[in-house]
Amino acid sequence: MILDIGRALQQPGEPFPFNIEEAEPSAEQSQRFPEGVFARSICVEGFIVGANETVFVRGSVCAKIIAECARCLKSFERSLAVGVHEVYVRSSDPGDPDRNVFQGHTLELEEQVYSTLLLALPIRSLCKEDCVGLCPICGANLNDCACEHTEGNGCTSE
């Protein structure tokens, strides 16, 4: 997720739009997601504005999140969109832990994009707000009314 910030640095104050898409996270970034949670179609779009040795990035991150429901264990997909506002400064120390840094005319967005996504993930994923989970007797998914123990869960017996 590398941005060319050359023009933004040459024309301070001028917003330059950008748009990056990734089919899926790198293996390294995938490992940062909680177990059973995956991200697909990650996109980042917004503007970069340069100001001397500083670059502002404003935009939004969107992704499809595939997660296992904490109640019924079914995998489901959900779209997530979250704003990203970051400031990067030119630094000769790429490992500076306290700041977002860039070198030369390129800026690596990946770390902030995935940190933003991870923070936006719900602590407990539910396929739907009122998911009724699994049948404690036979383990069937009670949302599907698929077993004979579903009465009282909004299912009608035939």
Residues near Zn ion, by CB under 5 A: 69, 71-72, 127, 131, 135, 137-138, 140, 147, 149
Residue type, 118: L
| Closest to Zn ion by CB, 71 or 121 | 71
Rounded distance between C-alpha atoms, residue 46 and residue 115, angstroms = 17
> Cα separations (Å) of 105 from 59, 60, 69, 97, 109?
20, 22, 43, 20, 13
| Closest to Zn ion by CB, 84 or 131 | 131
Least distance in angstroms from the C-beta of 109 to Zn ion:
33
Rounded distance between C-alpha atoms, residue 117 and residue 106, angstroms = 22
Least distance in angstroms from the C-beta of 75 to Zn ion:
10
Least distance in angstroms from the C-beta of 51 to Zn ion:
47
| Closest to Zn ion by CB, 42 or 72 | 72
The three-state secondary structure class of 21 is strand
| Closest to Zn ion by CB, 87 or 138 | 138
Q: Which residues pair with 45 in a beta bridge?
A: 19, 60
Least distance in angstroms from the C-beta of 124 to Zn ion:
11
